[in-house]
Structure 1
Amino acid sequence: MRAWVRERWQSAYEQLLKREISGSPAHVAVIQDGNRRYARQRGDDAPDGHKAGAKTSEEILEWCRDIGVEELTLYTFSTENFERPQEELDPLFDLMAEKLRDFADHEQIHENEVAIRVIGDAGMLPERVRSAVRHAEERTRGYDEFVLNIALAYGGRNELLTAAQQIARAVDDGELEPEEVTVETVEDRLYGQPVRDVDLIIRTGGAERTSNFLPWHANGNEAAVFFCAPYWPEFSKVDFLRAIRTYENREQSWRRTRARRALALVKAFGTTELAEATTVVRKFRDSLSGSEHDEASRVAEESATAD
């Protein structure tokens, strides 16, 4: 009886959250934390927790597609994870290889044209995992409807360090002038194929830190962050929708703040002197209300007339 009531409550809450969400982030990144603690809590071994977590990884792919997310990155194995005992690593590597091949050959992956990409230092991984990586990327290479990035042997600090070293060598060899170094120069030297800026990071398992995950793409984009208590195998669609709602609330607040700052600049210095601020006012004026919205609309109309 309790399970039935809980299931009905969760279904009703899920529908409520869906109604509260009006949009979705383009790129969601997830730190899948808590597999081992989940296993210990149930009296199981660590590999059992990883297998349970792999099921959640399959489910969140569907949840993302349902609400319009276009790119998902799963933090599956960090460079620090190599320090774990070998008796835990071997079955984990076996699971990685198995799931990569399962994903690459799954009918829905091809029906929905999901591109699977692996980011990280794949050379650190055993050959059976590298072989599965090649298989998954080659099988889905031509797809672009949805992107699934799997971070394996990934470390954000190491990623930036490697990019900096490559740029330094290019400058030293005379291939690049220091003043020619741009954002694109750095991005071209990050792991793997291009990854779009991250809009939302989700971390399960109760810890409130982002653990060196996608620093260039997340911190640089001021990504929203959602921390939650459930271990990764327990993470539900309700938890996911709560994370999306957090992103929307933060995005609305960010737009409102930018519009207010831009409006204050325009009012102080005039629309002709601050074209960039005027553009921000035009773009985000609907985030304001009352007299602020009226003032922003007047500024937008004046600037349009001046154009």
Structure 2
Amino acid sequence: MDIKQRTQIYKNLGSFARKCIYGVLSASTIPNHIAFIMDGNRRYSKQHKLVDGEGHKVGFSSLMSMLRYCYELGVKYVTVYAFSIENFKRSPEEVQSLMDLMEEKIQGLIKEESIVNQYGVRVYFIGNLKLLSKPVRLAAERAMEATAKNSKAVLLVCIAYTSTDEILHSVEECCEEKWDEIKVLDDGKHEKDVISVLDIERHMYMAVAPEPDIIIRTSGETRLSNFLLWQSADCLLYSPSVLWPEIGFWHLVMAILEFQHKFCYLKKQKQA
């Protein structure tokens, strides 16, 4: 038996084992939306003495594995924090390297054999996209257009994103909308000129998805780092100590088990 055959056998065994575990997890509530803060790519590079950018490449492989596990399990929405607006403060060389990597990986998302097409995933890029370099922005727009008819699952990539920018953007759009409504009225009565919470939520970048059930942040950090602050009031924050490139299947399983253990409490909090 050659190496290729042995590799395929191990792959099949791994797939069978995962299906068995999915069956056990499915006996309880499966989260509808899981979000990831992919923390630790640079630290992974330093620890393993890799050249700049290699940690992020390994991290991308980890992301593809997490997406596969989530979609196999039946998680409908997955959100990833790919690039914060604050990351633009890094050195120009690092920012450019990350932009080049993102452009390459975004283009790969729409290839026929990609995970997106295997699982019928619609892709959204969430954030202040005008801040991106033109090649990355155009690649993101092409990916969103190419996957617009996919409906089995959703991938939301937060890029050039912070929650404070999202909230500011929403409030600005609400104000513009209300001002336009007021200008149309000529009776001097402006009962509708008050901005509601529902108005703000409707104009959020993340309005295309429900609130997350779980946010997983690697590296053992318990900070949200300006990620989904509005949407995360009643979700579970799970913080494994591993760096993002080291995250594996069992970390996802443990996060889901903790969510299931606390599901009744979290549900009550949302309904309160």
Q: As a proportion of its length, which structure holds more helix?
A: 1
Q: After alignment, is 13-22 or 115-124 more displaced? A: 13-22
Task: Provide the rounded CA distance (Å) in 2 between the counterparts of 1:172 and 1:141.
Answer: 32
Q: Does 1:110 align with 2:122?
A: no
Among 244, 256, 271, the alignment partner of 2:256 is 244
Among 19, 22, 29, the alignment partner of 2:24 is 19
User: For 1:143, what is the secondary structure of its paired residue?
Assistant: coil
Q: Which residue of 2 aligns with 1:261?
A: none
User: For 1:217, what is the secondary structure of its paired residue?
Assistant: coil
Q: Which residue of 2 aligns with 1:227?
A: 239
Residue type at the aligned position of 1:233 = P
Task: Provide the rounded CA distance (Å) in 2 between the counterparts of 1:226 and 1:63.
Answer: 17
Identity %: 30
Task: Provide the rounded CA distance (Å) in 2 between the counterparts of 1:133 and 1:31.
Answer: 20
Task: Provide the rounded CA distance (Å) in 1 between the counterparts of 2:175 and 2:116.
Answer: 40
Shift of 1:79: 0.6
- Conserved 8 A contact 1:27-1:71: yes
Which string of whole-angstrom CA distances, capped at 9 and with x for unpartnered residues, describes residues 3-62 of structure 1? xxxx9xxx8x97679735623110001000000000000111330111010001111111
Shift of 1:194: 1.4
Q: Which has the larger radius of gyration?
A: 1
Shift of 1:178: 5.1
Q: After alignment, is 93-102 or 19-28 more displaced? A: 19-28
User: For 1:210, what is the secondary structure of its paired residue?
Assistant: coil
Q: Does 1:69 align with 2:75?
A: yes
**Which of 1 and 2 has higher RCO (CA within 8 Å, sep 6+)?**
2
- Conserved 8 A contact 1:104-1:139: yes
Shift of 1:165: 2.3
Q: TM-score, normalised by structure 1?
A: 0.74
Shift of 1:183: 3.5
User: For 2:242, what is the secondary structure of its paired residue?
Assistant: coil
Task: Provide the rounded CA distance (Å) in 2 between the counterparts of 1:140 and 1:20.
Answer: 29
Q: Does 1:36 align with 2:42?
A: yes
Residue type at the aligned position of 1:85 = S
Residue type at the aligned position of 1:141 = A
Q: TM-score, normalised by structure 2?
A: 0.83
Task: Provide the rounded CA distance (Å) in 1 between the counterparts of 2:175 and 2:29.
Answer: 41
Task: Provide the rounded CA distance (Å) in 2 between the counterparts of 1:146 and 1:238.
Answer: 22
Q: Which residue of 2 aligns with 1:266?
A: none
User: For 1:115, what is the secondary structure of its paired residue?
Assistant: strand
User: For 2:59, what is the secondary structure of its paired residue?
Assistant: helix
Q: Does 1:145 align with 2:159?
A: no
Q: After alignment, is 104-113 or 55-64 more displaced? A: 104-113
Task: Provide the rounded CA distance (Å) in 2 between the counterparts of 1:239 and 1:35.
Answer: 17
- Conserved 8 A contact 2:71-2:119: no
Residue type at the aligned position of 2:242 = P
Structure 2 unmatched ranges of 5 or more: 1-9, 184-189
**How many residue pairs end up in the alignment?**
248
